[in-house]
A = this chain, B = another copy of it.
Amino acid sequence: MKKTFVAAAACMAAGVACAQSSVTLFGVLDAAVAYTTGSGPLATSKWQLTNSSNTFSRLGFRGTEDLGGGYAASFWLEAGLQNDTGSGFTTNTNNQSSGNTTLGGLTFNRRSTVSLSGPFGEVRAGRDYTPTFWNTALFDPFGTGGGIGANQIYFSGFGGLTSPTGTRASNSVGYFLPPTLGGFYGQLMYAMGENESRSDIVGLLPTWSHNDGNYVGARVGYLNGPFNIALATGRTTYTLIAANLPVSNNLRVSNIGASYIFESLWSLKLMGEYYDESQGTLDGKGALVGFNLPIGASEIKLSYARYEREPAGNVPKPTSSKVALGYVYNLSKRSAVYATVARISNSNGASQALSGSTTSPNHASTGTEFGMRHAF
């Protein structure tokens, strides 16, 4: 249940339009007991209470004011919750690793935006999801949450979870197409790293890094009945200094995702993603296929993801693949219990492991989780 409060706000004396408004308090708490383990001589395992395995835990406030004529002003504040410990999530202030805040208190790390929308679309400012994030989250039956089934490309790649712009960007201005284009949708974003224009004035060697942390990206898609497809691309500017000279270390991420709902086949939803990333001399590629099958109050989810790092030269590519199988029993639209099993395989020197465990190169990591989720 979202609590939505509707009120006719007082009209302004000076001839400004009356506004109809609503504010909503919303959130999710999701907790699971998880066991993950690696294999081989370097293996470690762990029992944990994890958060966000089925749906990301959060607490949020959002609202919209109708300005008349199809125009609206709105806000969205959404904080991630580590409900296993009561702490919030960190946010990042400048889209660079130097801007990570300290773990502890609640931050509106998930989204913190103010918007103006109308027939032209929506202009949005603040901290928001990057266009290059969405396909990884939406075209995976397990998404990108804290669960063991979550999109392995997002966890293995350098442009995903560990990148300051892999999920969201701060200091962003975004534009969204209006929902009136016959199924076409799209998002443009420019986000600022907010560096000083020059660094040499404090006596240091110049680093020419004043554009670092600037992100530019776009996503376009088409949704028509059971069919949905979207592609996205983005670049974050980063610079390395080698021998006192700047070397571009830009991060580029591109991906395409699609899904189809076979309504005659118990509404089976088939989905997939292809992903490509590069930074300096590093390259990475990923692909995923999966499905979601609702059966009454139950839901069965399966995904297979593969990610390979591409070093320079004709050498074997470290490759990791994950298979995840999930079962969800919906107690209501808002509450569910669920179980997941997952396994990561590694080859060519890769050693990716499920969260909480470590594994030896070329060895597997496996895990099980059982949890409950409640949305409000």
Contact = CB atoms under 8 A, between A and B. Distances in A.
A340 to B, nearest CB: 16
Given A33-B173, A77-B81, 5 more contacts: A27-B61, A84-B170, A101-B104, A114-B373, A116-B337
A126 B84 contact: yes
A225 B58 CA distance: 41
B127 A107 contact: no
Contacts of A59: 61, 77
A286 interface: no
Given A1-B19, A196-B44, A333-B10, A374 B83 contact: no
10 contacts: A1-B7, A1-B21, A25-B61, A29-B113, A41-B201, A83-B108, A85-B94, A87-B107, A106-B107, A114-B374
Query: Top 10 A-B pairs ranked by shortest CB distance?
Result: A105-B105, A101-B104, A73-B335, A86-B112, A49-B171, A86-B108, A29-B114, A31-B125, A85-B170, A1-B21
Contacts of A104: 90-91, 101-105, 107
A192 interface: yes
Interface of A: 1, 3, 5, 7, 9-12, 14-19, 21, 23, 25, 27, 29-33, 37, 41-42, 44-49, 59, 61, 63, 65, 67, 71, 73-75, 77, 79, 81-88, 90-94, 99, 101-114, 116, 125-127, 170-173, 191-192, 194-198, 201, 294, 296-297, 330-335, 337, 356, 358, 371-374, 376
B19 A75 contact: no
A164 B85 CA distance: 12
Contacts of A32: 125
Q: Copies of this chain, how many? A: 3
A16 B333 contact: yes
A16 B331 contact: yes
Contacts of A1: 7, 9, 19, 21, 23, 63, 65
B73 A332 contact: yes
A333 to B, nearest CB: 4
Given A45-B197, A47-B192, A127 B85 contact: yes
A227 to B, nearest CB: 20
A86 B110 contact: yes
A195 B12 CA distance: 49
A315 to B, nearest CB: 27
A89 to B, nearest CB: 9
B112 A85 contact: yes
Nearest to A329: B16
A192 B48 contact: yes
Interface centre among A10, A67, A79, A84 (most CB of B within 10 A): A84
Contacts of A358: 196, 201
B81 A376 contact: no
Given A23-B25, A114-B83, A44 B372 contact: no
Contacts of A94: 85
A148 B10 CA distance: 30
B195 A46 contact: yes
